[in-house]
Amino acid sequence: MIHKSKPSGRAIGKMVRFLVLAGAAAWLALGPHGQAIAAGEMSQDQFDKRVRDYILAHPEVIMEALQSLDARQREAEAKEAKATLAAKADDIFHDPASPVGGNAKGDVTMAEFFDYNCPYCRQVAPVMAQAVADDPQLRIVYKEFPILGPDSVFAAKAALAAERQGKYVQFHKALYDAKTRVTEAVVLRVAAEIGLDVPRLKTDMQLPDIQAAIDRNAQLAQALKISGTPGFVVGEQIVPGATDLATMKELIKQARAGK
């Protein structure tokens, strides 16, 4: 499900003022008897009255103009997103520090920005797993994006450190399967349960490139205007928020068709 942006109060105010002027111009072009009237030939009060009369006589133009504004904003945002995706494609889909799941050589890649303590990320995790199971050509890129506090940062660092032991995807799944807030204690317990070398994990978590990878993801999310979790990038589309399996498959289908 892709959320559509709404015009801001400031944008609406500007549009209304624009409508007032446009309406005034149309109304002032002809006087009540079909004679051309120049704006300079009337007082401010006369001008204001004509504007008010026009808007009251044609209120539908405000809604039409707002709908046009909304469409133009969506078009502009789509163009901006497409340009950003093109410029950041390697960072999104081919950063060597971002773990990969699914088919590493698949023909369509879906990148997910997530936080282990985000309930919506936990909700969508089985959806992603099903998408991978149903599509042998789907490649997943995991973007650790811990925005919900220190516990989330600890979990993200641990997950990236688990990649160095070849168990990222297993650890990633196990953290969601814990079905509880992912605290430091939970992270270390889950790590031990899946057979990770916990002392090595703790050491690797402190490596500068682990933090650097998280910082790059945060900068990338900002560039893509992904401010919450989860956030997905599929083909040329940025999808904020959790989504269902049917929508996810449709996005993958569109991305595959666009190749």
Q: pLDDT tens across 171-211, in order? A: 999 999 998 999 999 999 999 999 999 999 999 999 999 99
What CA–CA distances, in Å, run from 210 to 154, 159, 170, 217, 256? 11, 10, 18, 11, 32
Would you state the pLDDT for residue 15?
53
β pairing state of 138-144 and 108-114: parallel
Would you state the pLDDT for residue 59?
78
Distance CA 195, CA 162 (A): 10
Q: The tokens of 227 are what?
A: 């401010």
Nearest Cα neighbor of 214 from 153, 150, 140 is 153
Q: pLDDT tens across 64-103, in order? A: 777 877 778 767 766 777 788 889 999 999 999 999 999 9
Q: pLDDT tens across 120-168, in order? A: 999 999 999 999 999 999 999 999 999 999 999 999 999 999 999 999 9
Q: Is the pTM above the cut of 0.85?
A: no
Non-local CB neighbours of 213 within 8 Å, separated by 6+ positions: 95, 97, 98, 144, 160
As a whole number of Å, the end-to-end CA separation of the chain is 22
- Quick one: pLDDT band at residue 259, thresholds 50, 70, 90? low
Helix locations, the chain, DSSP H: 9-29, 44-57, 60-93, 119-134, 150-163, 168-177, 184-193, 198-205, 208-223, 245-257
Q: pLDDT tens across 30-70, in order? A: 444 444 455 556 777 877 787 778 778 877 877 777 787 77
131 close to 250: Cβ distance less than 8 angstroms: no
- Compute how many other C-beta atoms are within 10 angstroms of the C-beta atom of residue 92: 22
Distance CA 194, CA 249 (A): 30
